[in-house]
Amino acid sequence: LPEKTYLKRLVYGTAKTIVENLTLGEPYANVRKVYSISLLYFKISDDDDDYIYHGRTDFTGLHTLKLAKLKDSLVGEQVRINETNVFPEYYLIPLNAFKDVVLDDVDQWVYAFKNNEVLDEFTAPGIGALKKKLDYLGMDEKERRRFDRHVDYARSDWGMIEHAREEGRGEGEVALLKRQMRYQFGPLPATVEERIDKARPEELAQWALRILGAQTLDAVFDDS
């Protein structure tokens, strides 16, 4: 998309989103506030002195130049934290302007999108899901096929576990968890097998969920 048409496309996109989320005949009171977040690979400012730019609609007195504080009857319910009106808000993020200095949760997200990587120390809400997605997209075709087979295998096995649980056979969970670990990490040390044998059902379930994203056997048991 050419830079000269980008802002027009941005306005069109927010307007379209508002319209599509209001059913025909639905009252205007149900109009939703839209937040538009754009990750950009071109400069948006001649100053180039920031990497997140925020745009919103405010009303200013033509003569007084004072920001108008709209009446409650116009504003209605607060849409989200500290919101003053229902007009769309825009966040433009030129990724190349970010200097890879991470100071807060937002910086963690910007870093991840710029570098296609989520560092292990990142803790921003929801960023773990992005890490899994980026890890998957970063696999070559052979690795991705292997991972997909493993997921299908896991789903099949854990369907069997649910059946075993219904039948009251907890030993089925233990056996299948061991088989999953061997498939992913190779032969299991005796200490690991003993730990699995003595584990509570909730621990088995927790370890099973970790297998898919774990790079090492130790990571499966890491509760930190």
Distance set, CA 220 to CA 210, 211, 217 (Å): 5, 6, 5
- Residues 94 and 42: beta-carbon distance below 8 Å: yes
**Are 113 and 145 in the same domain?**
no
Q: Rounded distance, CA 68 to CA 82, Å?
A: 15
**Are 115 and 180 in the same domain?**
no
Residue range 152-175: mean pLDDT, rounded: 54
Residue range 89-104: mean pLDDT, rounded: 91
Distance set, CA 178 to CA 27, 50, 98, 194, 208 (Å): 57, 51, 45, 11, 10
- Domain containing 161 equals 141-220
**Are 11 and 77 in the same domain?**
yes
75-87 pLDDT per residue, tens: 665 544 455 678 8
What pairs with residue 89 in β-bridges?
A: 35
- pLDDT confidence of residue 180: 77
Residue type, 81: I
Instruction: Identify the DSSP state of 4.
Output: H
Q: How many domains does the chain have?
A: 3
Confidence (pTM): 0.57
**Are 130 and 193 in the same domain?**
no
**Are 154 and 199 in the same domain?**
yes
**Are 69 and 13 in the same domain?**
yes
